[in-house]
Structure formats: structure tokens, C-alpha cells
Amino acid sequence: AQSVTQLDSHVSVSEGTPVLLRCNYSSSYSPSLFWYVQHPNKGLQLLLKYTSAATLVKGINGFEAEFKKSETSFHLTKPSAHMSDAAEYFCVVSRNPVIYNQGGKLIFGQGTELSVKP
């Protein structure tokens, strides 16, 4: 079975310092992996996605994530936090639709709330 675990429910950083949001996944086959961001009272917005091309994926707003198969991790990073980055972040894994019949299933992590202090 596939699963995804976000290792921190809450992360607090100071403005201008690096951000690290951790995500581990479990999958029998090469998954598609995503990071989404949710600002208060809003729907989710895609930050970036990994689909078996380059292992280092660049997203919007300066975020990037590295797929490490040996560690089954897909951690999200940003070199310098901005106040506008304060939000909740979700790591998401999908089943490979070629292998599974249930190609429409997505599994979300529990979310990591990022706070940015001035």
C-alpha cells in the first residue's frame, strides 16, 4: 500500500532563514509526488511535482524538492523564507495509473504548518 508521512506538523522559521519541510513516502512502484500549499481560507495550489524525470524539482516561489529513492523522501526546501510563505503544506503521492486500475487515487500527508517570524 502507498502512504505518505510528513514528519513535522508545525515548523517555525525566521524570515530570511532556510525552510525544510520533510516528507517520506511508501510505494511499491515509482510514484508521482507533489507538494501543495494552502493559504488560510483558500484552496490548495500546486508548488511542484515529481514524475520520474529530474530528481531535483524546482517549483514556484523559490521552492524546490529532491526525490531520494534510497531514502524514500521528498523534502521541500527554500533558501530564504518570506513572510508570505506562512501557510500549510501538503506532500501528496499518487499511484502509477499505468500499473494500478485506480489511477485516480491520491494520498495526502497530514500537512505541515509553516510559521515565519519577522
Q: Please, is 7 exposed, middle or buried when counting C-beta atoms within 10 Å of its C-beta (0-12, 13-18, 19+)?
A: middle
Say whether residue 94 binds other proteins (CB under 8 A): yes
63 binds other proteins (CB under 8 A): no
From 14, 17, 42, 84, residue interacting with other proteins (rule: CB under 8 A): 42
Cell of 51: 514524475
Q: Which of 113, 100, 103 is nearest to 29 (CA)?
A: 100
Residue 115, interface with other proteins (CB under 8 A)?
no
Of 68, 82, 97, 99, which lies in the binding site for other proteins, with binding defined by CB under 8 A?
97
Contact flag: residue 9 with other proteins (CB under 8 A):
yes
Q: Residue 63: exposed, middle, or buried by beta-carbon count in 10 A (0-12, 13-18, 19+)?
A: buried
CB of 87 to other proteins, least distance (A): 13
Which stretches of the chain bind other proteins, using CB under 8 A? 6, 9, 32, 34, 36, 41-46, 49, 51, 90, 94-95, 97, 102-111
